[in-house]
A and B are shown apart, each in its own frame.
Chain A
Amino acid sequence: MTDTTSTQPADTARASELSAVARFLKATELDTRMLGMIGALLLIWIGLHVISSLRLGVNPLDFDSRTFLTPRNLWNLSVQTSAVAIMASGMVLVIVMRNIDLSVGSAEGVIGMVMGFAQVHFLVRFVGLELGNPWIWVLALLIGLALGLLIGAFQGFIIAYLEVPAFIVTLGGLLVWRGAAWWVTSGQTVAPLDATFQLMGGGPAGSIGAKWSWVVGIVACLAVIFMHYNGRVQRKRFRFPLRPVWAETLLATVTCAIILGAVWLANSYPWPVGIVNRYAAANNITVPEGGLFIAHGIAIPVLMAVAVGLIMTFVTKRTRFGRYVFAIGGNPEAANLAGINTRWITMKVFMIMGVLATIAAAISSARQNSSTNALGTLDELLVIAAAVIGGTSLAGGSGTVLGAMLGALLMQSLQSGMVLLGVDSPLQSIVVGAVLVVAVWLDTLYRKRA
């Protein structure tokens, strides 16, 4: 009330003084820190591309196939990012509620082992399903999901109802579940996995091909356009201020361009020659001279990650549960006084985290076509780093799913870029660690100014 007396005129007066950039941001309602992240990502990509080109002595603008910005490398990057991105989307909720989950990597390990054991030994030998039975992957995944839910519920219960700090409970979990992963088969690797289950790991078979990729891309674009339109209709209905039409159009166009660009990229990465020839032989296709171009298209794990991202964004923004998670993170006492059952919400958040660890475990084990007890080692740190780099505040109360997923992409870009450049693995750890600290420091500066 003190300063509202002058708010209206002051706002209009200030609007004319705003710079072009500020006016642009105001009109589009874009988040500057999200733009900053996208900028950082592009910078890293271009930097890695230039360095990798110079190392080979080729012109960066030739986009040589061994450099960073190639369909093949970016496609692989997308697959590698999926598992961490999926878990990071759940870690956002955990951290927003002022908790932490250090056990996700180990949980991923034990769940991966159990799913591997289930499909290779248990369902085949003890239940009596034939190898290759199409139900095997479904049952294995369901067993994994149940286990993930149980692990999350168990840890969440101790945290919410027995009031043991999340840091301690999940630190215990980090050791317990890793040990449990070893016990499943006494340390033996389980391989090969069920053929259908493997599709979740990507690869030529685990991608949806050019045609379906375009279908997905176009449907996504239509959805984007519809959401912008619907948003306007809703705001008009209540006579709320609207974004200018040009800003709305620009946002929708850029989003669609990014989606279609990603599809085009995925469709520019062909199957390897050997697999094409085998496929041609199996389907009686004669391979023309110069080879047959069969595109990968979008990989299944990437689609899974996108689906998880959309669902989690929906949960955080549009459901009562998501609203409560943020309110509790902002002021636990106020949430309690408002009649929110904070304990049950806490437990549910950890259950979601457990389910997401299962999906990540399925992707990672399918990708290496084996379950090992080391699966997901140190993933908890990548996941937390991704969430934090993506703007999730460790003090609780703020964070976005999209930011965390971009954070995962950023971390993975650095890591796979360094592999491409032949950086020694100890040095890779040093760089990743340093980047994390610098990113959070920059974020602190940003928050102080905002």
Chain B
Amino acid sequence: MLYLGIDVGSVSTNLVLLDHRLNVVEKHYIRTRGNPIKAVQESFRLLEGRYGDEDVAACGTTGSGRQIASVLVGADVVKNEITAHAVAALELDRDVKTIIEIGGQDSKIILLRNGVVSDFAMNTVCAAGTGSFLDRQAERLGIPIEEFGDCALKADIPVRIAGRCAVFAESDMIHKQQMGYNQSDIIMGLCEALVRNYLNNVGKGKDIRPKVFFQGGVAANKSMKIAFERALGFEVTVPEHHKMMGSIGAAILARDAVRKNGHTRFKGFSLAEKRFESKGFECEGCSNHCEVAKIHENGMEIGCFGDRCGKWSNRTMVSHSMAGSL
């Protein structure tokens, strides 16, 4: 009896299996690399053979690629990331008051009161200060992203970096490098700039109360945690499965959905071996000329995305809009 949760994000695709007590029995973190279908298949390949299809009692998807993933796997619930993160955090600790979540493309703040989301905010149209920016800077400095945070821990005096915009931050960093500042001081300065930016932008006007959970891929960066603690003046908790919180939430929501509906729609692990093809075309139906993506499974169309009017997506939407109506 396992619950499967899949979080298809911009940078990573995360998959968890929870047992009936909601303990994590399996977790996989795979880079999406712009191909959500492949990423989901790749993660299924890691489970195929070790688990049977009948072991999965419920399956849920979340993340910006949640719709496409739900069509592939047959999800019982398709939920936005905010609700998913909140559900996962509350399951772990009922006393969480604030969630700071920084992913690849998004940063969010979620305020929880009385066990429900009472307020949230996300970054603006611009993705400065999120994981993809840190990724890019690590790459530019030639440091593996996994070591990026540790590298900053050696900093003595963090250098001040402009944090409003990724482009400003990058040019400021380059100037500081050229002036000969120590690399760890610059990286710590960058972390502090990102935190400052986060608190002034996403966290603006928010009543950030402890206990604070720091979730998402960027929480793996120890210097970001320290920078948050310095700025807020109290401890910030990074949960053990911080990268997986979205998928854990999706798995829990899926369990609830199946309890209500009585059965799962999960299509099985054989997905890994199927041949999926995505074909894009421009719909000529009206002047909008929507770019529609059509997904084929072994030559059979299973879903369409990207149209505004629903002419294409509604052909398959029936099943997952029901799945989403939890």
A and B are interacting partners:
no
The residues of A with any CB-CB pair to B shorter than 8 Å are none
